[in-house]
């Protein structure tokens, strides 16, 4: 299954890279404020689904552009192009993200960065790999030495104040904050020890699924803003090496609003 996912991710990567040579020719549509989609997102998603479906016609799909379809214990969770805004500006930080969940448990994940030709893969219980070499989260154990990735809540402004509070404190208590612009790649970077931690508010399952498995299989921890499970449905995520995870939660904790605390059975939106 992982091999098929890799094949699908590479196909999508070629479509994206071919299009990156001629960005001016693309038609871009606003799905909502700051939420862009181009025909490249769609073509990449079609190629992925086509590849997965020809191998596993009965599996269900949850994909960013075409939504949910099928009914199976297996669901492929797909972001055909994570980092669309970067892509459309020619800023070469974006990726393809594909994960498989079986009965709601993530079992395989692929994140492919076509610019660096970096292929991140993970299967539950079998470790995480970057271009077939085993990766592990970093060993840094003091937040003040940590390089932390994040994403801004740039579509949903009700969390701005809480988020800025977190950012202000992390600014003072880490070695640096980065906002690369592709959540799946941020998580993959944590898995590879290139970043020490990551947090973001208001993500979708396809932004997080593959990257979260990568982090766990690389020995890291993933949770919602209170460190609990349910982040895929809730949309808010913290990921870090095991030493920095509680230290990040500690900072975040001080800025949580009622809205940002997980509600059983609901999302934190």
Q: Is residue 16 within 8 Å of 40, Cβ to Cβ?
A: yes
Distance of CA 129 to the CA centre of its chain: 16
Q: Which is nearer to Ca ion, 200 or 207 (CB)?
A: 207
DSSP letter (8 states) at residue 141: -
Question: By CB under 5 A, is residue 207 in contact with Ca ion?
Answer: yes
Instruction: Build a one-symbol-per-residue string for 173-192: x at contacts with ligand IPD by CB under 6 A, - elsewhere.
Output: --------xxx---------
Residues belonging to the chain:
269
Question: By CB under 6 A, is residue 235 in contact with ligand IPD?
Answer: no
Least Å distance, CB 73 to ligand IPD, is 26
State which of positions 82-121 bind ligand IPD (CB under 6 A).
82-85
From residue 217, give the alpha-carbon distance in Å to each of 105, 109, 134: 13, 10, 10
Q: Which is nearer to ligand IPD, 1 or 36 (CB)?
A: 36
- Residues 58, 88: Cα–Cα separation, whole Å: 34
Query: Out of 45, 113, 196, 207, which residue is the one contacting ligand IPD (CB under 6 A)?
Result: 207
Tokens of 15: 């479509």
Q: Which is nearer to ligand IPD, 16 or 135 (CB)?
A: 16
Query: Out of 45, 79, 186, 200, which residue is the one contacting Ca ion (CB under 5 A)?
Result: 79
Q: Is residue 55 within 8 Å of 4, Cβ to Cβ?
A: yes
Give the closest residue to 114 by CA, choosing from 7, 4, 10, 36. 10
Question: By CB under 5 A, is residue 226 in contact with Ca ion?
Answer: no
- Binding residues for ligand IPD, rule: CB under 6 A, are 79, 82-85, 151, 181-183, 200, 203, 207
């Amino acid at each position: 299954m992982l091999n098929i996912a890799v094949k699908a991710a590479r196909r999508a990567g070629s479509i994206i890279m071919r299009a990156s040579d001629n960005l001016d020719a693309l038609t871009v549509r606003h799905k909502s404020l700051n939420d862009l989609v181009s025909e490249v997102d769609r073509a990449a998603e079609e190629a992925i689904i086509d590849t997965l479906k020809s191998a596993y016609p009965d599996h269900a799909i949850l994909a960013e552009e075409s939504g949910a379809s099928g009914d199976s214990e297996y669901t492929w969770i797909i972001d055909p192009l994570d980092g669309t805004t970067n892509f459309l500006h020619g800023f070469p930080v974006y990726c393809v993200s594909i994960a498989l969940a079986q009965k709601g448990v993530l079992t395989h994940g692929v994140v492919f960065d076509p610019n660096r030709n970096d292929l991140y893969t993970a299967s539950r219980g079998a470790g995480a790999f970057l271009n077939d070499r085993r990766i592990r989260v970093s060993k840094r154990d003091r937040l003040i030495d940590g390089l932390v990735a994040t994403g801004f809540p740039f579509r949903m402004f009700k969390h701005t104040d809480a988020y800025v509070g977190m950012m202000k404190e992390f600014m003072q208590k880490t070695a640096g904050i980065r906002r690369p612009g592709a959540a799946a790649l941020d998580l993959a970077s944590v898995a590879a020890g290139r970043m020490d931690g990551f947090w973001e508010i208001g993500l979708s399952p396809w932004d997080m699924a593959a990257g979260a498995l990568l982090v766990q299989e690389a020995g890291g921890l993933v949770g919602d803003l209170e460190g609990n499970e349910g982040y895929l449905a809730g949309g808010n995520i913290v990921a870090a090496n095991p030493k920095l995870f509680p230290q990040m939660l500690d900072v975040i904790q001080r800025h949580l609003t009622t809205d940002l605390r997980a509600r059983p059975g609901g999302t934190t939106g």
